């Protein structure tokens, strides 16, 4: 099992956002997490990546390790990657320098020599092509002045360089026009592999036309309320989040019976 989440709770400022998430993801699988705004999907992504402004309880096993005990950088070094919903702008730090620093930090953590500047440039060029990114983005400051679509491409570019084992894509489709969506999805699909699991968080079904998931989970009020195959996404598209019979899924997702507020 690549990822095993057990009864994960998270709150911020006394407000509970995750209320007992249970999820299992195997290597090579792509899981989609769909849910309305404010249901806690992005909090799940942030908590898995190690954002420390949440009070967290429960258990998360990643590759057999206690993920919650690791710092964000150690999570990244062992192969966890979060594609941010809102990639951060960092004035004064060159994009390529940033990605190279990240790759070398991960390599150092894993006992590898830093990558040679020339080899890195070749790697970066190749991976930028994957998301049809112009080379001018190499020297610009990280995400500074990038359009929404350029920022998302930059996230997938970083993922392609860092080659994570578990990639969490947080609303990677938001703010993208259809062409950009196609390019980003193409990049993601090229990175699907046996040893890599993906958690694709999205509000809309349309991303899943391009990135076809193995499993779809419906997220509501801080937990998974229903799980199923890729057809579940179509059902959602048709009936909306409110039209789904939530009670049906609780037992099947293994969620302990709890009083719903």
Partner 1 sequence: MSVTAITSKARGLEELAGREPVSDGDQPAWVAGMRRAALEWVADHGFPTLKDEDWKYTPVKTLLEVPFELASTSAGRVLSSAMIDELAGDLGGTRLVFVNGHLAAHLSSLTELLDGARVTSFASAFLDDALLLEPVLAGTWPGYRHAFTALNAALAEDGVLIQIQPDTTVSAPIQLVFVSDAGATPVMSCPLVVVLAGARSRATIVETHVGFGGVYLTNAVTEIVLGDGAQIEHYKIQDEAETAFHFAALHVLPGRDSSFSTNGLALGAAIARHEVWVRLEAEGAEVSLNGLYLPTGKQHHDNPTFVEHIAPHCTSRQLYKGVLSGHGRGVFNGQIVVGHEAFDADAHQVNKNLLLSDTAEVDTRPRLEIFTDDVKCTHGAAVGQLDEDAVFYLRSRGVPHQEARGVLTYAFAQEMLELIKVEPLRSHVESKVTSRLGAGNAEARR
Q: Which residues bind partner 1 (CB under 8 A)?
A: 49-51, 71-73, 75-77, 81-82, 84, 87-94, 97-103, 105-106, 109, 117, 158, 162
**Phi, psi for 168 (deg, rounded to 5):** -110, 115
Terminal-to-terminal C-alpha distance of the chain: 32
**Nearest residue (CB) to partner 1, 98 versus 204:** 98
Closest approach of Cβ 114 to partner 1, in Å? 9
Closest approach of Cβ 38 to partner 1, in Å? 20
Closest approach of Cβ 32 to partner 1, in Å? 21
**Nearest residue (CB) to partner 1, 81 versus 146:** 81
- Between helices 148-162 and 117-130, what is the axis angle to 10°? 130
SS3 255: coil
Angle, alpha carbons 96-98-99 (nearest 5°): 65
**Nearest residue (CB) to partner 1, 5 versus 162:** 162
Closest approach of Cβ 77 to partner 1, in Å? 5
CA torsion sign, 42 to 48 to 51 to 57? Answer: positive
**Nearest residue (CB) to partner 1, 90 versus 212:** 90
Closest approach of Cβ 93 to partner 1, in Å? 5
**Nearest residue (CB) to partner 1, 90 versus 122:** 90
What the block records as the tokens of 108 is 């150092």
- Based on the number of CB atoms within 10 Å of its own CB, is 259 exposed (0-12), middle (13-18) or buried (19 or more)? exposed
**Nearest residue (CB) to partner 1, 103 versus 169:** 103
Closest approach of Cβ 89 to partner 1, in Å? 8
- For 195-224, b where at least 16 C-beta lie within 10 A, e where not — what string? ebbbbbbbbebebbebbebebbbbbbbbbb
**Phi, psi for 72 (deg, rounded to 5):** -55, -40
């Amino acid at each position: 099992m690549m990822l095993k989440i057990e009864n994960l709770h998270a709150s911020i400022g006394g407000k509970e956002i995750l209320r007992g998430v249970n999820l299992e993801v195997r290597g090579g699988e792509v899981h989609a997490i769909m849910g309305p705004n404010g249901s806690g999907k992005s909090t799940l992504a942030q908590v898995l990546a190690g954002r420390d402004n949440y009070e967290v309880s429960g258990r998360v096993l990643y590759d057999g390790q206690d993920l919650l005990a690791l710092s964000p950088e150690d999570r990244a070094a062992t192969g966890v990657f979060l594609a941010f919903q809102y990639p951060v702008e960092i004035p004064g730090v060159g994009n390529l320098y940033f990605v190279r620093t990240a790759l070398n930090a991960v390599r150092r953590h894993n006992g590898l020599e830093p990558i040679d500047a020339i080899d890195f440039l070749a790697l970066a060029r190749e991976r930028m092509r994957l998301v049809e990114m112009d080379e001018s983005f190499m020297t610009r400051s990280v995400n500074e002045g990038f359009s929404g679509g350029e920022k998302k491409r930059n996230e997938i570019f970083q993922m392609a360089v860092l080659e994570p084992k578990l990639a969490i894509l947080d609303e990677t489709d938001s703010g993208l026009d259809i062409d950009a969506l196609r390019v980003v999805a193409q990049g993601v699909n090229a990175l699907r592999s046996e040893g890599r699991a993906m958690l694709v968080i999205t509000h809309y079904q349309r991303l899943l036309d391009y990135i076809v998931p193995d499993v779809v989970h419906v997220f509501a009020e801080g937990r998974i309320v229903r799980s199923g195959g890729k057809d579940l996404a179509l059902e959602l598209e048709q009936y909306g989040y409110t039209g789904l019979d939530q009670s049906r899924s609780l037992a099947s997702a293994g969620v302990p019976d709890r009083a719903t507020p």
